Chain A
Amino acid sequence: MKKRRFRWELYLIHIIIALIVLLPLAFALISSFRPLDEIFKFMSPVTWKTFIPVELTLEAYMSLFTERGFGRIIFNTFYVAFSNVIFGLLIGSMAAFAFATFRFAGKNILFLLVLVTFMIPPEVVAIPLYSLVDSLGWVDTYYGLIVPSIANGLVIFLYRQFFLDLPNALIESARMDGASWFRIYWSIIMPLSKPVTVSAALLIFIQQWESFMWPLIVTRSKEYRVIQVVLSDFTTEYATYWNEMFAAAIISVIIPVVILLPLQKFFVQGISSTGGKE
């Protein structure tokens, strides 16, 4: 059997990697609680004061919400992300139900189309998509931010994999009782699909939270800005407010961390089932 000895060199490598991952975030977190002049004052030469704040303040966070309109920005980001989650799950699972349950003309070609679309990254379509969204009059609206990303090939794929493993008897007995197809989908299949629903919801949420290029293109006014675009605007508009930039970055990281860490298992299941099967 395996013998377990203490492998200090493995621990050493793991600790070094952990430091590389965590230090920039820890530094940002600490700096976000400092008054602005202190960040610059102690930046060079390096002393312990560079890393350990002498004075803690919520100044940066307060200013984000009072001066820079972060309340609205966070609302926008959540609104866009949640709309995508809800509608994305609904239409994605419906399409997957069709693929898993029925035989119909053109099924293989349509499924190939699903696979093709989830291989095409949103960055490729962003620029040509702009002309279409512009002609719909959706530039600088929530429609423009939300609607184009709702249909998601990845979500269809995930649900289909899950549905294929469900037992036949479920559907057969429901058909015998005279349930309609929509009823079978909505009241029998979907309640059984909680794990895949959580995985898919997390994938969509993270995708939307981190989405940058499309919101940058499709919004003009501050009213519709989402968090990633605002972070980018910050680097040109308020480039000297380092404490606020750190605070904004921390807000952008902390929300997905809080959502992901307890649900890590579902997220990993979601992505590994796409990676293993192509």
Chain B
Amino acid sequence: MMTVKNKWVPYLFLLPAFAGLLLFKLYPIISALLQSMHTLEFLTQLVRFVGFENYVSLFNDPVFWNSLKVTLWFNLWINPFQITLAFGLALLLNTGIKQITFFRGINFIPVAVSVPTAAILWKIMLSPEQGVVNSILVALGMSPQPFLESSSQALASIVAIASWKGVGYWALFLLAGLQEVSPSLYEASSMDGASKWQQFKSVTYPMMKRPLTFVVVSVTVANMLLFAPMYILTKGGPNQSTNVLLLESYNSAFLYSDMGRATAIVVIMLVITAIIVAIEFRILRAKH
């Protein structure tokens, strides 16, 4: 479309959407910054400016450091795990076997499964005493596992549950990217005698950079801010082993009515996520 110069009309069209975006998406971020520098006085019920006090007390709080560690550790595992599986699945769904649309349809189903739904299905199935997974393990002659009720297995169980729900969705983006790679590129490279691995390295990977960057960044943001599985399955436990930052922030706000602390955690989370995403962009751009 050709664009027309106009003084007033475009703003009328923009007004309703921008009112919403500014008020409900952008303002809360600024408001988080402001709220994190205030505290609510219990006696007077007045809000008082305290500068960086909320941040300072976070940095002296072992609970916060534990949450930060859990969040980073969780992301260190789940992000490469989901991205690798999603890429593998996309490659598999891009093969020319006859029933491929059927298999694509099946892998599409988890898109319709919400994170809370996935969480409660697996909560029942992973139940240590009567869950079907342990029944199967016992039937196979293995010992039953505590899964979500042990501090050494809970986080790994959440990685598995979130990936069961997420991988098919992320694979959709990569599959769309793969389908845009022209088959003539493969034909040309196989005529030059390139092996499968060389083909992947010199044709598939460079062509996939854009969707891959998008998926890497989106997966990171989604998992840095994952909340529902921890809230529903473990409430941060056992022993705070799944107490990620967003859950700690939620509890500060709605369990302990400490908005200052809650928003300070949100701001820190935003900064960390932005730094990680910036690094990911750097790495994916540089490797040419």
Contacts and interface: CB of A to CB of B under 8 A. Distances in A.
A124 B225 contact: yes
Contacts of A168: 1-2
Contact of B103 (A18, A95, A181): A18
Interface stretch (A54-62, A67-75, A127-135, A193-201): A127-135
Contact of A128 (B5, B28, B124, B138): B28
Contacts of A234: 120
Nearest to B226: A123
Contact of B263 (A127, A171, A275): A127
B173 A121 contact: no
A50 B132 contact: yes
B108 interface: yes
Contact of A27 (B7, B116, B125): B125
Interface residues of B, number: 94
B46 to A, nearest CB: 15
A110 interface: yes
Which bucket holds chain A's interface residue count? 35 or more
Given A17-B92, A27-B132, A43-B130, A104 B114 contact: no
A257 B270 contact: no
B3 interface: yes
A164 interface: yes
Nearest to A92: B17
A235 interface: yes
A278 B210 contact: yes
Interface stretch (B50-58, B63-71, B76-84, B248-256): B248-256
B222 A124 contact: no
Contact of B124 (A119, A123, A246, A264): A246
Contacts of B14: 94-95, 98-99, 110
A21 B107 contact: yes
Contacts, number: 282
Contact of B9 (A129, A181, A235): A181
Given A123-B246, A256-B112, A24 B164 contact: yes
B121 A235 contact: no
A176 interface: no
A7 to B, nearest CB: 6
A167 B2 CA distance: 8
A76 interface: no
Contact of B117 (A92, A206, A228): A228
Contact of B227 (A213, A246, A256): A213
A151 B25 contact: yes
Interface in A159-181: 163-168, 171-172, 181
B3 A103 contact: yes
A124 B268 CA distance: 11
Contact of B25 (A27, A99, A120, A217): A120
Interface in B219-277: 221-222, 225, 227-228, 231-233, 246, 249-250, 253-254, 259, 262-263, 266, 269-270
B114 A210 contact: yes
Contacts of A95: 13-14, 16-18
Nearest to B131: A43
A22 interface: yes
B286 interface: no
A46 B99 CA distance: 33
A231 B177 CA distance: 35
A28 interface: yes
Contact of B35 (A119, A128, A217, A242): A128
A267 B131 CA distance: 35
A75 B34 CA distance: 37
Interface of B: 1-7, 9-11, 13-14, 16-21, 23-29, 31-32, 35, 89, 92, 95-97, 99, 103, 105-117, 119-125, 130-132, 134-136, 138-139, 164, 168, 172-173, 176-177, 180, 210-211, 213-215, 221-222, 225, 227-228, 231-233, 246, 249-250, 253-254, 259, 262-263, 266, 269-270
Interface of A: 2, 4, 7, 10-11, 13-14, 17-18, 20-22, 24-25, 27-28, 40, 43-46, 50, 90-92, 94-95, 97-104, 107, 110, 113-114, 116-117, 119-121, 123-125, 127-132, 147-151, 153, 156, 163-168, 171-172, 181, 185, 206, 209-210, 212-213, 216-217, 228-229, 231-232, 234-235, 242, 245-246, 248-249, 252-253, 256-257, 260-261, 264, 267-268, 271-272, 274-278
**Ordered nearest first, which 9 A-B pairs have the shortest CB separation?**
A151-B20, A272-B176, A210-B114, A95-B17, A256-B112, A98-B13, A128-B32, A275-B173, A102-B10
